[in-house]
Amino acid sequence: MYIHKEGYKIIFTAFIILAVLSVINWLTNPLLYLEILIYIGLAGWFIWTISFFRVPRRIVNFDSNAIISSADGKVVAIEEVNEPEYFNDKRIVVSVFMSPFNVHVNWYPVSGKVSYVEYHKGKHLAAYNPKSSLDNERNTVVVKASNGEEVLVRQIAGVMARRIVSYVKKYHLAKQGEEFGIIRFGSRVDFFLPTDVKVQVKIGDKVTGKKTVIANFK
């Protein structure tokens, strides 16, 4: 496990804030028990900030027929919908909600060529809100697999998230399990899949990025 490069500046800033607040607490707090509670709270906040940017080292079991999860989190929706941004037809969407305590790095679900990438500014509704897929700040990535099928992955910022970081470039040769971005704080990832895939997860399942197979191609 290591700390993601996007976290360096934030962790350093958090450390400075922690130091300043600790000094203020020490100088001004007249109650020892309250002073200790504040120290504990500040330490917890700092530890959480560090842990948010953790990146686990995981080995991918490559499978050209499998669509693996791009994120850690919980499956909150599986349904057939019309995808209006790229496909403009029916797709199976699998939505994974990432809590503030999940790993927030995102990985390619399949290997292939990136055929589309588009960032959209937007609102910051709760990530579990169905409207967040089209109304929130989001980044859409489409990868065309070797079998000719395309998988759309949409990074969606939530209430706490204020920045989607994407390293994707159009026509890039994506490798299954390779990192393509990170969402800072609570968020969601939607997978828009061909309607004939065999979904391997159900609502409520906890999934692990680079590990859990969310669906198989026909």
Structure tokens that stand for 218 in this block: 């026909």
- Which segments of the chain does DSSP mark as H helices, in order? 8-28, 32-52, 132-135
Strands 150-157 and 112-120 turn out to be: unpaired
Instruction: Of 194, 193, 203, 132, give the one whose Cα is nearest residue 164.
Output: 132
- For residues 111 and 99, is the Cβ–Cβ distance under 8 A? no
Structure tokens that stand for 199 in this block: 């979904």
What is the rounded distance in angstroms from the CA atom of residue 171 to the CA atom of residue 169?
6
The amino acid that residue 140 corresponds to is: T
Classify burial at 3, counting beta carbons within 10 Å of its beta carbon; exposed 0-12, middle 13-18, buried 19 or more. Answer: middle
Structure tokens that stand for 25 in this block: 């607490």
Q: Is 187 a catalytic residue?
A: yes
What is the rounded distance in angstroms from the CA atom of residue 69 to the CA atom of residue 153?
10
Residues designated catalytic: 187
